[in-house]
Amino acid sequence: MPTHPLDTYDFRQMIINSPEQLWTGFELAQGISVPGQFRSIMISGMGGSALPGNLFRTYLDDLFRKERPEQEPLPIHQNRSYGLPKEAYHECLNFICSYSGNTEETIESFEEALAHGLPCIGLSSGGKIEAMCQEHGIPHIKLPIPTPGFQPRVGTGYFFGALLQVLVNQRMVPDTTVTLLEEAEAWKQAMPEIERVGQELGKKLIGKTPVVYATAEYQSVAMVWKIKLNENAKIPAFWNFFPELNHNEMVGFTNPQAEFMILMLRDPEAHPQILKRFDVTAELLRQRGIAVEVIDMQGGSVYNKVFMSIALGDFASYYLALEYGQDPTPVDMVEDLKKLL
């Protein structure tokens, strides 16, 4: 049963269960591969189905730096539009990602890939993507819908696990599945404290327009926070990263036209000069009357820094939604748009 009357689909439980998705993703992709040698991957997807690609790049860049320092990291291209970029045609393994299986931009990209005989793997819970895979003999990974109203934006772990397992199957990346399952268990154990901090943060955000900052390495996490605030709490939110924001965006707070709150996702292991920029920027903003919350990323490993930070953003946006009288699950405006297209 949902823990709050506004939470009709028990979105809170979806967040709590998210550490378990990694193992399921690994299981779903066991034995899935395509013939050939590939130098890069392309992830075609929109919205919540595109989020794993950004996070996957963050993880793999760190993995190659540690495990294969003599090699360049695996190039990960992302496609968030109709059709395919040119990179999809050159020794590239194409992942076609649509949780519903019916995303029109992704379907068009898949149609182009099929027309040119490009190597593909489909990931969806069903829909047209699954049907196209069956028709054309393309490997398909069927993603679960564990509860009614389940949203792709809280299914990142399924995508992440499945993508990694396929690349392990293809011998394109080292096999870190055992280590990651241990890290996911640590994340699961930390979830009660993450929820407590997230609930407190949600209350601080009432009446504010959030702006989320992170380091360049974790800019994908800042972007995900922004998206969760948009979709869960139904409010505008923005993101940027250090040090780039110090060269332009921060000047805009000289003359702010709304009541902002800056959320700084600080990696304690970042470059010393970047850490100094966090401190100095926070002070300059506070001097100008801007609320700033500095949040140290927890977890130690890159995987846990990414996913524990995202869980914190999930809970903050969830509790903020309830404060605003919003059901965090539906995205009515997106559905309205689809009906009008």
pLDDT confidence tier of residue 95, bands split at 50, 70 and 90: very high
Q: How does pLDDT run across 75-86, given as a tens digit for each residue?
A: 999 999 999 999
Residue 154, SS3? helix
Write the burial class of residue 320 (CB in 10 Å: 0-12 exposed, 13-18 middle, 19+ buried). buried
| Token pair of 164 as six digits | 């990694």
pLDDT tens digits for range 282-318: 999 999 999 999 999 998 899 999 999 999 999 999 9
Specify the 3-state DSSP secondary structure of 120. strand
pLDDT, one tens digit per residue, over 9-30 is 999 999 999 999 999 999 999 9
The span from the CA of 124 to the CA of 99, in Å, is 5
DSSP letters spanning 81-116: SSS--GGGGSSEEEEEE-SSS--HHHHHHHHHHHHT
- In sequence order, the 6+-apart residues with CB closer than 8 A to the CB of 237 are 209, 210, 211, 212, 225, 226, 229, 230
Q: Which residue has the tokens 């327009």?
A: 209
- Predicted pLDDT at 243: 98
Mean pLDDT calculated for residue range 174-180: 94
189-323: CATH superfamily: Glucose-6-phosphate isomerase like protein; domain 1 (3.40.50.10490)
Per-residue pLDDT reduced to its tens digit, 255-288? 999 999 999 999 999 999 999 999 999 999 999 9
The residue ranges of every structural domain in the chain are 11-175, 189-323
68: pLDDT strictly greater than 90: no
| Residue 307, CA atoms < 13 Å, CB-side half-sphere | 33
Q: Name the one residue in this structure whose structure tokens are 């399952």.
A: 181
Confidence of residue 330 (pLDDT cuts 50, 70, 90): very high
Q: Which of 132, 170, 175 is nearest to 34 (CA)?
A: 170
Peptide bond into 330 cis (omega under 30): no
The predicted pLDDT at position 215 comes to 97
CA-based nearest residue to 238, from 219, 215, 218, 217:
219
pLDDT for 115-148, tens place per residue?
999 999 999 999 999 999 999 999 999 999 998 8
Using 50, 70 and 90 to split pLDDT, how confident is the model at 1? low
Residue 230: name the closest of 215, 210, 245, 250 by CA.
210
Reported confidence tier of residue 69, pLDDT bands at 50, 70, 90 = confident
Q: Which residue has the tokens 């490009």?
A: 118
Residue 73 has pLDDT above 70, yes or no: yes
Q: What is the pTM of this model?
A: 0.95
Residue 3 has pLDDT above 90, yes or no: no
What CATH number does domain 11-175 carry, 3.30.470.20, 3.40.50.960, 3.40.50.10490, 3.30.70.100? Answer: 3.40.50.10490
- The CA distance from 97 to 229, in Å, is 23
pLDDT tens for 144-171 read 999 888 999 999 999 999 999 999 999 9
* Fold equal for 11-175 and 189-323: yes
> Across all residues in the chain, what is the average pLDDT?
95
Record the tokens describing residue 37, joined without a space: 């040698």
- Distance, in Å, from the CA atom of 323 to the CA atom of 341, rounded to the nearest integer, reads 32
Among 15-29, 64-78, 214-228, 244-258, the range scoring the smallest mean pLDDT is 64-78
The pLDDT of residue 236: 98
Percent of the chain with pLDDT over 90: 88
Q: What is the model's pLDDT at position 169?
A: 97
Separate counts of helices (H) and strands (E) for the chain: 11, 9
The angle that helices 302-323 and 177-204 make with each other, rounded to 10 degrees, is 30
Cα–Cα distance between 199 and 328 in angstroms, integer? 14
